[in-house]
Amino acid sequence: MTYAGRASKYGYKYRTEYENQVAEFGEVRTQYSLLDPTTYYEWLAAAALSGMVGTVAYDLVKFVAQQIYKQITAKNTVLTESDKSILDLISDNDELIKFSNYIRQYYKGNAKIPKKALNAILKEELVHSLLDNHKGEFNETIKQINIDEDKPLDVKKEFSHLLLQASKSAGRKRKEKPKLEELKKSLKKLKKEIKKTRKEKKKRKK
């Protein structure tokens, strides 16, 4: 998953879900395992991240949102739940601003998240890290538990070790951020696209 994908997943989607639960119930009652964000969410997150190096963050997100809207509504097929979800987001100006802010906070690491919601997000990162980066070790441990009946494993010790490794992997992933130069390059590309789109609009009006 790209950094933009992780930012939209953990920095916005999980955060929104768990903050809503804490606000309503005072705790996280349901742990989700949300699907990976669609390419559309990643586009929006990439726009929010690129805009951080200038003063046009929300303008970029809004521009990308408009392109996504055109692409989805131009389909001749029934909209998927994923399509409906992204349309709900980009059709709500306040939510789009919130999305942009959450992505930037995820990048800067300065998000003020309720402790219970934050713990739930960290658990999700841990589970995904375990399945994505340590699946082989996990399967091997399960296999050994089932096979070596004469030499039983210390299950608690084995899984504690696995969780520790997964936690370290998740921590490293969290620190893997696009460098400033990468964001500047993305910003230039998006600005060019905006100019190109505006020129095409003017031509059509003539």
Are 52 and 104 spatial neighbours (Cβ–Cβ below 8 Å)? yes
Residue 115 resides in a domain: yes
Q: Please count the structural domains in the chain.
A: 1
Longest CA span, the chain: 83
* Domain around 47: 3-195
pLDDT tens across the length of the chain (206 residues): 578 888 888 889 889 989 999 999 999 888 766 555 567 888 888 888 877 665 566 777 888 888 888 888 887 788 888 889 899 999 999 999 999 899 888 888 878 999 999 888 888 888 777 777 667 776 666 666 665 555 555 656 666 666 767 777 777 777 676 666 666 666 666 666 666 766 666 666 66
Residue 53 resides in a domain: yes
Residue 69 resides in a domain: yes
- State the Cα–Cα distance between residues 43 and 51, nearest whole angstrom: 12
Name every residue whose Cβ is closer than 8 Å to that of residue 184 and which is 6 or more positions away in sequence: 53
Question: Would you call 152 helix, strand, or coil by DSSP?
Answer: coil
